[in-house]
A and B are shown apart, each in its own frame.
Chain A
């Protein structure tokens, strides 16, 4: 499931082009980790929360960089925002329980992590969801790719790559790299 990419099955994509290679992804994650440390001087505890499903591996990797370089403690969690979506009537449900916020977020800094930032609706739902776990001091957002087309006033704090796309394209992010799949369907 690619939650930020709209219609994703029943369509075929003629071409795929690689935008980032595996090494680029690693480099970017390391860079973001340093930015996070830089940005959060004096932070008491950082709760890194990957959004299901694409943000989870990224949060894990980011956390492992941060543990080595940060002066503050880092805690890893994950968040399934299905129950908070404003469009859940049009989305299939994620089947397995995948929310795991192991500590209270009260008065802490939360870093939301997702692979692709698109319309901003997932992040909006994530903001609502995380607030049900307490009132953090601050919430920040890290994404690997910002592909534009925002529908809500949401801006990431840390971006791996700004990637102008058309709405009909699909952006695929993994440890192996970032690819754009060109839509040949009705791409609305």
Chain B
């Protein structure tokens, strides 16, 4: 892949990164940010991108993507998923290891690395904590770490055995990698298909109680206290879990946590007519939980908004709710869904002109960019800041653009989005991956 073939001048945008918020032009050349000044005259041969009224941010980093390759290419491939990522403003994805075969050995790591050359953005991989994600014996983490794997998780399932999790944390600490946990006590979720609450009671559906998540969050926080190892908590869905994360952080424990757009935007009420599109794990919770997640987000409890992009082909969803697959796609709608919901909430509070303050904007961009980049340990290349010499991984979005996602426009190979009837606000119009323009005016240009 030849990078940085062309020069681009991004003019008049509002730059938002870990350094702050400022109006500035940005020159991209040879794959890097070549200049960043208040006003830059277009050099010869530079293509000018008019970014007036737009936000220029580091390219988004998704900590939680299922790319389905190898094993389920009918639903997604590394290539198709990476295109969906670029459409959503992402320049880096962390692919989950629950593929077939499981990403649990150096051989599989080398194999998927080859496949990742098809990607139109930077794909990183998470390795499995246990072989086959069966929760029985640890994988050869240090060999995989040598090949560049920085994060390990059995996502799709949590490590059920407390002793094994303790050993995994200790081992991971020794080799300087991070473990990430899908918090779900399977004896409590017990085959449930949705949140256990008012809606499941009416539908007669078996439910997954909040406690299935909370119990494992509590256990793992205590294991971090015991071992001192770093732990990232995936897709927190309950108010109680968020509260525990907040306390753990206040105690100084090396715990990070992510929240998904769908747990912020949607609630169990969407399942009232059994629509399997809204079936996801952890399940969409009550509105009380959803609002508690927003509260935690406002207090800085979460370190990242991660999509848990989980593509499923049509047949996997076109069945009864109890038999349908868990998961929904999210790369293309992540920003629009979160900003859309935020706008709806702000409109209630009558914030000046309904716009975001600089601080809110910075917080939001941080959750999509530099903070997840640090957790994935890829912040040398991704997540900004937008300063001279850094790789030009940049997303440009219109924070006020109102739109609807339609099935025909979805780039992902699977169409299982829950947002077809939701107003989305904020759309990524340009994505630069290592200096190459991959998305122009909202259209892929590969």
A and B touch in the complex (CB under 8 A): no
Chain A residues at the B interface, C-beta cutoff of 8 Å: none
Chain B residues at the A interface, C-beta cutoff of 8 Å: none
